[in-house]
Amino acid sequence: MSRQDGSGRLYSPPGADDTGAHILHVDMDAFFVAVEVLDDPSLAGKPVVIAHNDGRSVVSSASYEARRYGVRSAMPLGLALRRCPNAIVVPPTFERYRETSAQVMEVFRSVTPLVEQLSIDEAFLDVAGARRLWGSPGEVAALIRERVKSEVGITCSVGAAATKHVAKMASTASKPNGLLVIPASRTQEFLDPRPAGAMWGIGPKAAEALSARAIRTIRDVRETPVAALARILGSAHAQRIHDLANGRDPRGIQTERTEKSISHEETFRTDVTDPDVLRGEILRLSDKVAVRLRRAGVEASGLAIKLRFDDFQTVTRSQALTEPTNVGQRIAQVARDLLAGVVMRAPVRLIGVRAERLVAQGSAALALWDDDGEWKQVDGALDRLTQRFGTGSVTRAAFLTRDRHLPDAERPPEDSD
């Protein structure tokens, strides 16, 4: 979810110069909220917060009316309601979001096959080859906005530029419900005055570190030697950021995205101190991660766990695996070992398991014998039963009585806008 509230947005008038601006970044406006308004028009124009109303939830998305009170994604719901006491809390309906996302992406693909979906509500498009059918990049961008509104019923913001980085920055600057076109020749003019923290890849901590050294705008980043940036950001990151500040971004559209990681995490109803409960939850999450790995036909060669304590301090631990795996019990074994190395300084609010460094299933060299053979048979049986009876219909017996700490629903992803 964007941190802006819609004030101070930039937009391009019809017929603006779009020379060389063939990369579009299309981002839905407050997507989760917009879908809820489709189903309940009475919510339109009101401060709406998408979250489970259980006192332990975090904000997944907020309307622009709520954002003006300082409500942000990933904010504890209690804090959001203190900032915006008149907010309307709406529980998320993920199946509707997925259905609407599919409709939006179908609109994109009807215009060009070169679509790279970034998340449930945003994508890059390369429209260089669409000129004969649909017109110039600016005309295509306007067409997409019109079709998303008329065919799906929600609004989107579009940035058009010569590179992915600038297109994404342009769409953010045009929110909500806007279109900003940056012709190739004016790339640097657009970039230079903008805050360094607006760059894709510079988070709040990096922006703070740069600001402490009087590097506050993208022009400042561009004029700072890479060696100096490396002392602040690290050598690999510094060169990339310096290139982006100079308008250099050679990345093209990837029509097939390979997931870099697969994760599941849960926020407990009540903070947990019992190590047995944490170990049990590790196993449950590991099973869910393993199912998704197998469905995707990949294995994990690295594993990480995440814990958030009751004071919202978060720690992670990770480990490379000697052999890639998508077996739930094996993932749980490693994750539990990582858990054992964490000092439990406070009660635990959230716990997560993440599979990393994914490789194609079966790509590792075969061993003479398989230590996980029996576990794989169990996983195979679970997969078949789940496919037949549905997700959640089959679970380990150990989980049937271990639910007093667990949330009513799995923690949702955050709306990227």
Residues at the annotated binding site? 27, 121
Question: How many residues are given for the chain?
Answer: 417
Is the previous residue joined to 14 through a cis bond, with omega within 30 degrees of 0? no
Cα–Cα dist 298/357, whole Å: 10
pLDDT the model gives residue 374: 59
| Torsion angle defined by CA atoms of residues 46, 52, 56 and 60, in that order, rounded to the nearest 10 degrees | -60
Helix axis angle for 226-233 and 235-245, nearest 10°, is 130
pLDDT the model gives residue 366: 43
pLDDT the model gives residue 389: 52
User: For residue 308, what are its two tokens?
Assistant: 């958030």
Name the residue among 338, 342, 294 with its Cα closest to residue 314: 342
Q: Look at residue 269 and give its three-state secondary structure.
A: strand
**Is 266 a residue of the active site?**
no
Within its chain, how far is the Cα of 139 from the centroid? Answer: 29
- Tell me the CA distances in angstroms from 219 to 168, 197, 203, 222, 239, one per residue in order: 18, 12, 17, 5, 15
- Tell me the CA distances in angstroms from 89 to 33, 59, 79, 83, 349, one per residue in order: 10, 9, 13, 13, 21
> For residue 23, what are the β-bridge partners?
126, 161
Task: Convert the pLDDT of each residue in 234-273 to its tens digit.
Answer: 887 899 999 999 999 999 998 866 667 889 988 888 899 9
Taking residue 385's Cβ as centre, other Cβ atoms within 10 Å add up to 12
Q: Which candidate in 65, 122, 281, 414 is catalytic?
A: 122
Name the residue among 336, 270, 273 with its Cα closest to residue 303: 336
Cα–Cα dist 395/402, whole Å: 12
At 62, phi and psi to the nearest 5? -145, 145
pLDDT the model gives residue 412: 42
pLDDT the model gives residue 378: 57
pLDDT the model gives residue 237: 85
Residue segments in the chain with a per-residue pLDDT below the cut of 70: 1-7, 55, 256-259, 362-417
**35 and 154 in contact (C-beta within 8 Å)?**
yes
Residues at the annotated binding site for Mg(2+)? 27, 121
pLDDT the model gives residue 1: 43
